[in-house]
Structures are given as structure tokens and as C-alpha cells.
Amino acid sequence: MTKRSFLAAAALAALVLPGTAWADNHGSKDIVDTAVAAGDFKTLAAALQAAGLVDTLKGQGPFTVFAPTDAAFAKIPKADLDALIKDKAKLTKVLTYHVVAGKVLASDVAKLSQAKTVEGQSVKIDSSSGVKVDGASVVKADILCSNGVIHVIDSVILPR
């Protein structure tokens, strides 16, 4: 099977997350399976499981997920991350802050100044120098999934 590239925004085309092994057929997998197959989202997968959100993100969607890598989660002090994982309500709030209803491709994200999240608040989007979502840089965009799209970010974003 031929690898497919889904990088739509020219400004993001050269940004590739080193070491990420995206499945050849990632467009046919849902968001959760695509992230798990990539290998760089173990903490995100565990957090989704702890919050009870796996079935939701395996659902019909479409969803746009700003997905922090394991390295992004590693920026959070271990004690704080452990406490977050144990607090289901707070964890759910943080994780749903990373999700926008609908399929928003990079070419659309770059035109926005904000986007309302499933959590209820809006994330700020700045495309003046690359694309940043609440200060987190989008390092890989437009990973198409059967139920939406993933944009990989380099930091965990927190609701206000």
C-alpha cells in the first residue's frame, strides 16, 4: 500500500515529528487506533482510558484532536501528572479541551483565531509563525482518521 501524506498547509509541510511511525493506512483507523499505532502517544492513550473517553474518540465523530505526544506530557512534573490522571473530572476537562467537534484541517486551522473545544472553552490559535494552539506548536498536521483528524502538538494545553 502506498503511503499517503495529508499535510495541507504549506507552512506545516516540512514539520515532521521525528520517530513517529504513522501507519500506512491511518486514514482507515479511528483517532484512538491511529494514535496508539504511532507509538508516541502512550500517555495520551492511558489518560483517555483513565477518563473513560476511549469509546467517545472511537465513535463516529468527526473530531479534531490536538494530540500531545509523550514528550509533551513529560514537560508536566510527574507528581502533577500523576495527580491529574487520578482526578477523573479534571482529567476529562483537560482532555476534552484538546478536542474540537468536526473535522478541521490545517488549512482551516491556520485561518482561525480561536476554536471552541468540546470542553466548552475556546483555544486561541496563532498562525503568525507556524501554528500554535494556546501556545503549543503544531508539529505535525492533518493526520486523517476514519472519524476525524489529529494535529500533533508539543505541549499539553490547559483550560483556564
Residue 71 pLDDT grade (very low, low, confident, very high; cuts 50, 70, 90): very high
- C-alpha to C-alpha distance for 119 and 28, rounded to whole angstroms: 26
pLDDT score for 27: 66
pLDDT given for residue 18 in this prediction? 33
Is residue 73 a contact partner of residue 67, using CB atoms and an 8 Å limit? no
Q: What are the tens digits of pLDDT across the range 111-152?
A: 899 999 999 999 999 999 899 999 999 999 999 999 999 999
What pLDDT score does 89 carry? 97
Q: Has residue 83 got a pLDDT over 70?
A: yes
Q: Is the pLDDT of residue 25 over 60?
A: no
Look at residue 22 and tell me whether its pLDDT is greater than 80.
no
**Domains contained in the chain, CATH given:** 26-153 (2.30.180.10)
pLDDT band at 10 (very low <50, low <70, confident <90, very high): very low
E strands of the chain, at which residues? 63-68, 99-101, 114-116, 122-126, 132-133, 136-145, 148-153
> What whole-number percentage of the chain has pLDDT above 70?
83
pLDDT of residue 55 exceeding 90: yes
Dig out the grid coordinates for 121 from the structure. Answer: 472553552
**pLDDT at site 110:** 80
Mean pLDDT, all residues of the chain: 85
